[in-house]
A and B are shown apart, each in its own frame.
Chain A
Amino acid sequence: MNEERSQDLLAVDNLRVCFHTRNGTTVAVDDMSFRLQPGQVLGIVGESGSGKSVACHSLLGLIPSPPGKVEAGSARLKGEDLLRMSEKQLRNVRGNRIGMIFQDPMTSLNPYMKVGAQLVEPLRRHRAASAKEARAKAIAALGEVGIKNPEQRIDDYPHQFSGGMRQRVMIAMALMTEPEILIADEPTTALDVTVQAQILQLIKKIQASHGMAVIFITHDLAVAADMADHMLVMEKGVVVEQGPPEQIFKGHQHPYTKKLIDAIPTSSKPPSGAPRKLEQLVQVNHLRTSFSVDRHTQVHAVNDITLDVRRGEILGLVGESGSGKSTLGRSIIRLIESQSGEVLIDGVDLYQLGTNKLKRARRDFQMIFQDPYASLNPRMTVFDTLAEPLLIHGIAKRDTLTEQINQLMDDVGLDRTSARKYPHEFSGGQRQRIAIARALAPRPKLIIADEPVSALDVTIQAQILKLLLKLTEKHDLTMLFISHDLSVVRYIADRVAVMQQGQLVELASTETLFQQPQHPYTQALLSAIPRVEL
């Protein structure tokens, strides 16, 4: 046992981290232990609030303290306990022996400093390198992470790089001192799927060539399985299971791991009993929406799009950020005005309707938004939120109102007794249920769902997806389901439309699109999806 320990690069034992706030104490990490060998990739998986980030940040003294506090445990880096180190000693470890990269590359670099100045800092600080040496090394590091013209780009500011490029800069910065361990905290979560694939590739390559150990924190089981030699599954601050990926996926002894794995949307949705109708509900013809960025530049967010949505189907609309998929969804129901084209819903062109007619027509098409925190008015109770559409469109009379609202709450699986509560008293998943109930209230024919599950944890995501499927069936709804997540779309949609830079590049049935993608962009998207392959 001791024999083995001496080889550990990092040995964490019984780590316990608490947050002491006015409202009481929360245990963020409890009794966490793990080992990290040189050159090993350790994947830590968990949902939000599982403590996976807090644990790693606390090793380096990077949690906000107060309120955070490491209460117990040890973390020995080659025998030296990081948790017993003074701030000064710890500073000599940070960015030197342990490097870090973070989730959001857009905000993780200092916008006021040139990337070069930021790159050289670790080397200057820890190795007392001369300015010249450090710069040469920075240029080399930029080159290594795949940035073209590093000699010039080193003098650019972060805003001159795209998201993926910034994450490369972050990686280069972490590499400057050749750390023994790289902690990557959700490094690809904020990135598009194709960029994510590139960054994951890069991390693998660099890990191999430098022989670093990597702690890879992610909420995405598939990504973790792809990257890691060894995995930890965390729930509410506790490591519920650890082992090599094969064991995690095949063995799954712990119910939470099983729940996580089951939540991964796999294959397509269960075949529905009702026969598919082929009749159209929505016909979009040559729709164009553009925005002027400034006086000279116009962005064509929706560029001549023609598509149809059939009655009773779920049409998935996928694309990366900036592809115009959200704008298309909003343009269809005139939340954003298009410049030209037509949208026929049940044969009526929305763009020909006057203001009042449009308002009345709106009960037929509703929207569900991405962020359940922002899409509910914080000053209205659930009851008021649901009553508003019912009353506006004259669907409920005063005396039937309560009954109808109860019905709606039952439909989306909310407790009737919480009708008088306010949005902030609910969890994210419950709020999304309220938003769904609100969209259902006027009994629409069409629902536009704009990334309805991307702000949610995987297990909640699975519940909401099931709910949406159940409701479309029950109420005979038609849905346009917008998402960046191909596996989610594959799970829920009957047909899928793919958008790239404002244009529709492919539209096919889900089966066909995933089996035989025609357009090269669709192929690229599909190959970039992290998959669990065991």
Chain B
Amino acid sequence: MQRITEQTATEPVLEEGSSLTRDAMHRLFKNRLALVSAGFLLLLILVALLTPWIAPYAYQDQNLLLGASSPSAQHWLGTDTLGRDQLTRILYGTRVSLMVGFVATAVALGIGVLWGATAGYLGGRVDNAMMRIVDVLYALPFAIFIILLTVIFGSSMLLLFLAIGAVEWLTMARIVRGQVLTIKRQEYIEAAIAMGLSRWRIIRRHVIPNAVGPIIVYTTLTIPSVILLESFLSFLGLGIQPPQSSWGSLISDGVENMENYPWMLIFPALTLSVTLFALNFLGDGLRDALDPRASKD
């Protein structure tokens, strides 16, 4: 930072400071990969929202006469064995996968932040007990439990949201707790206490603003792992059930037919992987931009 101003004669105009957030945004905008990723994701979200209106066909429309056909002018990405339009199926799959990704991440975020912040802020025995619970849960084979749950209750969107959210909150809780603990030890918190601020004001003005950065970063990185988990379950046939499609179930269909109709595998696989790339690049970009080490002198 070379913006240190020497004390000169008083000028009437106030100099504008540059907040950490603004500096971070500035760094993010210089990261082309992260920007392209963000653009791609925005486009994907837009498309997913508008799918019912822009999809060329209905997702359950079959054309058994056509069967599996390679990409053509009518069906840009070809059709599956039942003659369903692949592009339409992928678009609807995107809707499902993104929805699971966002909602389950929101669930994880909600539980994780609340749990981690409480443990970190209260500290002491409460913290010990709460984090012990997280440790214990960490040791459990969650993927297996989710499968167990889908077997018992049948798979539904709601179950997926809850089950995946329930797995992913653990790491979130750990990260938030660590962050809160670090902030709590900072002298500016001590200074705030010494000033006579109320606990709530300290949390609101001093703790939360300093904790959001890493939470945003980790949230961005949670979404791809949630999408992955959902696709994993759907691939095994335990997640989204037909006739609905998700990326996982489309890939599963593709694998069965890849010898004869490779496009059935390639397009959904490509969509999934590109989305994962974009989310990871954006997450890494955000992390680099928000890294406190980069923003210190």
Q: Do A and B come into direct contact in the complex, CB within 8 Å?
A: yes
Q: CB within 8 Å of B: which residues of A?
A: 23-24, 330, 333, 335, 358-363, 365-367, 369-371, 373-382, 388-389, 392-393, 413-422, 424-427, 430, 435, 438, 442
Residue of A at shortest CB range from B194? Answer: A367
Pair A420/B17 contact, Cβ less than 8 Å: yes
Chain B residues, Cβ within 8 Å of A442: 195-196
Pair B193/A417 contact, Cβ less than 8 Å: no
Asked if B206 CB lies within 8 Å of chain A CBs, one says: yes
**Which label, helix, strand, loop or mixed, suits the secondary structure of the B interface?**
loop
Chain A residues, Cβ within 8 Å of B295: 378, 424
Chain A residues, Cβ within 8 Å of B19: 379, 381, 422
Complex Cα–Cα for A419 and B295 (A): 20
Pair B191/A367 contact, Cβ less than 8 Å: yes
**Shortest beta-carbon distance, B221 to chain A, in Å?**
22
Pair B17/A381 contact, Cβ less than 8 Å: yes
Complex Cα–Cα for A121 and B147 (A): 54
Residue of B at shortest CB range from A389? Answer: B195
Pair B15/A335 contact, Cβ less than 8 Å: no
Chain B residues, Cβ within 8 Å of A361: 196
If A366-B195, A367-B190, A393-B196 touch, whether A415 touches B8 (CB-CB below 8 Å) is yes
Pair A425/B8 contact, Cβ less than 8 Å: no
Chain A residues, Cβ within 8 Å of B191: 367, 369, 375-376, 435, 438
Interface string of B89-113 (1 = CB under 8 A from A): 0000000000000000000000000
Question: Which one of A366, A373, A381, A382 lies within 8 Å of B194 (CB-CB)?
Answer: A366
B174-222: which residues lie under 8 A (CB-CB) from chain A?
186-188, 190-198, 201, 205-206, 209-210
Pair A375/B188 contact, Cβ less than 8 Å: yes
**Shortest beta-carbon distance, B61 to chain A, in Å?**
53
Interchain residue pairs with CB less than 8 A apart (16): A335-B194, A365-B194, A369-B191, A371-B187, A377-B192, A381-B17, A388-B192, A389-B196, A392-B197, A413-B7, A415-B8, A421-B17, A424-B295, A425-B3, A425-B18, A430-B4
Pair B17/A414 contact, Cβ less than 8 Å: no
Pair A417/B14 contact, Cβ less than 8 Å: yes
**Shortest beta-carbon distance, B82 to chain A, in Å?**
55
Pair B205/A388 contact, Cβ less than 8 Å: yes
If A377-B206, A426-B4, A427-B4 touch, whether A421 touches B190 (CB-CB below 8 Å) is no
Complex Cα–Cα for A379 and B186 (A): 13
Chain A residues, Cβ within 8 Å of B11: 417
Complex Cα–Cα for A388 and B194 (A): 12
Complex Cα–Cα for A492 and B81 (A): 87
Question: Which one of A359, A370, A380, A424 lies within 8 Å of B198 (CB-CB)?
Answer: A359
Pair A417/B13 contact, Cβ less than 8 Å: yes
Pair B210/A360 contact, Cβ less than 8 Å: no
Chain A residues, Cβ within 8 Å of B21: 379
Pair B188/A425 contact, Cβ less than 8 Å: no
Complex Cα–Cα for A393 and B194 (A): 12
Pair B195/A392 contact, Cβ less than 8 Å: yes
Chain A residues, Cβ within 8 Å of B5: 415, 418
* A363-B196, A376-B188, A418-B14 given; 5 more Cβ-contact pairs under 8 Å: A392-B197, A413-B7, A418-B15, A424-B295, A430-B4
Asked if B1 CB lies within 8 Å of chain A CBs, one says: yes
Residue of B at shortest CB range from A378? Answer: B20
Question: Which one of A369, A388, A393, A427 lies within 8 Å of B190 (CB-CB)?
Answer: A369
Asked if B293 CB lies within 8 Å of chain A CBs, one says: no
Pair B194/A362 contact, Cβ less than 8 Å: yes
Chain B residues, Cβ within 8 Å of A422: 17-20
Asked if B296 CB lies within 8 Å of chain A CBs, one says: yes
Complex Cα–Cα for A417 and B16 (A): 9
B129-174: which residues lie under 8 A (CB-CB) from chain A?
none
Complex Cα–Cα for A24 and B187 (A): 32
**Shortest beta-carbon distance, B146 to chain A, in Å?**
38
Asked if B72 CB lies within 8 Å of chain A CBs, one says: no
**Shortest beta-carbon distance, B26 to chain A, in Å?**
12
Complex Cα–Cα for A362 and B198 (A): 11
Complex Cα–Cα for A375 and B19 (A): 17
**Shortest beta-carbon distance, A330 to chain B, in Å?**
8
Chain A residues, Cβ within 8 Å of B16: 420
Pair B190/A424 contact, Cβ less than 8 Å: no
Question: Which one of B2, B15, B198 lies within 8 Å of A420 (CB-CB)?
Answer: B15
Complex Cα–Cα for A380 and B186 (A): 14
Chain A residues, Cβ within 8 Å of B18: 421-422, 425
Complex Cα–Cα for A414 and B14 (A): 13
Pair A392/B15 contact, Cβ less than 8 Å: no
Residue of A at shortest CB range from B186? Answer: A374
Chain A residues, Cβ within 8 Å of B7: 413-415
Central interface residue in B14, B16, B198, B206, by most chain A CB within 10 Å: B14
Complex Cα–Cα for A425 and B296 (A): 9
**Shortest beta-carbon distance, B86 to chain A, in Å?**
45
